[in-house]
Amino acid sequence: MLSGRRLYSVASRFVTATKPTDGLVGAIGNTPLIRIGSLSKETGCEILGKAEFMNPGGSVKDRAALFVVEDAERKGLIKPGGTVVEGTAGNTGIGLAHVCRAKGYKCVIYMPNTQSQEKIDLLKMLGADVRPVPAVAFENPDNYNHQAKRFAESIDNAVWTNQFDNTANRQAHIETTGPEIWAQTGGKIDGFTCATGTAGTFAGVTRYLKEMSDGRVKSFAADPPGSVIYGYIKSGGKEMIRGGSSITEGIGQGRITANLQPDIHLVDDALKIEDADTIAMLYRLLDEEGIYLGASSALNVVAAYQMAKILGPGKTIVTMLCDGAYRYQSRLFSRKWLESKDLIGAIPKHLEKYIVLA
């Protein structure tokens, strides 16, 4: 029997009143901004990570997925019951698969056959028609993006959402991610950094923060080995050096996409982050903060840490925590895989206990 005595306080610190969302798509965005205590203490800066892994599809790409589909609807490119086709390394596909089920569309995903099995399985479980194709350069007509475009053109009531060059992707971050970061920091933000895949996130957030701060907020592009963005920015747009590779998935780029082009002049600097630093940060954040991140997010946090050192104490730096490690755990926590990438040595001895898979 309930005694009638209150077992709870009237204003619980765990409760903030948010209204019910309009379906799954209404639950995209409005993610928490997490203060990373250990790194903030070490640098004397506030280092904040936008917890995009808390989106319903588990990544930052839910935002772009919703915006490109709604853009196609607005332009009359897709009618009820139609098919959404995309070339994606995984997370955009997962976001699109969720959005397509929620809106009653079919979803066809072309991807390079180098992607993790966890991502492929999840896409299939979400009802998508997954088509892994050989990983060839963008210039090759059989690149997964070109195959996606051709397929969409070959059937009725279908749209190729074209995440790389469809600026509705960047618009998602101008209209949602940027304003959220500005509101969550009360405008007290000095620097923003993250890596680029399509560059929708980096360009959209940079554009918004630059406009709101009259150019005061600094923006640094973070880049993995093998990507051209770092060299392009460092050389003032003169160099596009290819070559090299990285363990990160979803980031790294061989060209300047239409999502990045309009805003590249706003970028203040670039940071190249080595895989050894990324993997060490991934394990450190798990151990010290309890945050379980994918490699692109760990790379972003290394970039935020380096940016804090460059800008100096007292500054507030924001980066993106794009997705969790769940989709990559068979690699990131496998001794064999880490050895194959020559990364075992990058993980400090006291963190080796997290390498739980053979």
Q: How far is the CB of 306 from ligand PLP (least distance, A)?
A: 18
* Radius of gyration (C-alpha) of the chain in whole angstroms: 21
Q: How is residue 347 written in tokens?
A: 């993980």
Nearer to ligand PLP, 249 or 275 (CB): 249
Nearer to ligand PLP, 49 or 197 (CB): 197
Q: How far is the CB of 174 from ligand PLP (least distance, A)?
A: 12
Calculate the CA 44 to chain-centre distance: 26
Q: How is residue 88 written in tokens?
A: 């994606």
Nearer to ligand PLP, 100 or 315 (CB): 100
Nearer to ligand PLP, 67 or 151 (CB): 67
Evaluated on CA atoms 22, 87, 222, 269, the torsion sign reads negative
Measure the CA–CA gap between 234 and 284, rounded to whole angstroms: 29
CB atoms under 10 Å from CB of 216, counted, come to: 11
Q: Which residues bind ligand PLP (CB under 6 A)?
A: 59-61, 89, 91-92, 196-202, 249-251, 294, 296, 322-323
Bridge partners of 115, per DSSP, are none
Measure the CA–CA gap between 130 and 121, rounded to whole angstroms: 9
Q: Which strands sit side by side in the sheet containing 33-35, from one edge to the other?
A: 33-35, 46-51, 316-321, 191-195, 218-223, 269-272
Q: How far is the CB of 349 from ligand PLP (least distance, A)?
A: 28
Active-site annotation holds for 61: yes
Q: How is residue 355 written in tokens?
A: 């390498």
Q: How far is the CB of 173 from ligand PLP (least distance, A)?
A: 7
Measure the CA–CA gap between 109 and 132, rounded to whole angstroms: 8
Q: How far is the CB of 119 from ligand PLP (least distance, A)?
A: 9
Which one-letter DSSP state was computed for residue 137? Answer: -
Write down the residue that tokens 């206990």 correspond to: 353
Nearer to ligand PLP, 40 or 177 (CB): 177
Measure the CA–CA gap between 96 and 129, rounded to whole angstroms: 12
Nearer to ligand PLP, 297 or 315 (CB): 297
Q: How far apart are the first and last CA of the chain?
A: 52
CB atoms under 10 Å from CB of 22, counted, come to: 8
Q: How far is the CB of 100 from ligand PLP (least distance, A)?
A: 17
Calculate the CA 122 to chain-centre distance: 17
Residues 121-139: b if buried by 16+ CB within 10 A, e if exposed: ebbeebebebbebeeeeee
Nearer to ligand PLP, 176 or 201 (CB): 201
Q: How far is the CB of 139 from ligand PLP (least distance, A)?
A: 20
Catalytic residue, chosen from 41, 50, 61, 210, is 61
Give the residue numbers marked as catalytic. 61
